[in-house]
Amino acid sequence: MVISVWPWAVQTVQVYLDNVRPLFYIDREDDDVMFPTERDEMLSEQAVN
């Protein structure tokens, strides 16, 4: 499988990882989930679709 992304997509994900994702872990341990939820759960496949 090949997935194509726009050239700006990598930069956008990096901005999220650097600036947004850390906010989910201010008061809890980082569990290495890329897209955590406010309820301390991982996104389901259904939610992504």
Taking only the tens place, the pLDDT of each residue in 1-49 is: 778 788 899 899 999 999 999 998 999 899 888 888 777 777 778 877 7
Whole-number pLDDT of residue 45: 80
Tokens of 35: 């897209």
**Separation between Cα atoms, residue 21 and residue 44, nearest integer Å:** 17
Instruction: Give pairs for 5-14: CB < 8 Å, separation 24+.
Output: none
Phi, psi of 14, rounded to the nearest 5 degrees: -65, -40
Whole-number pLDDT of residue 16: 94
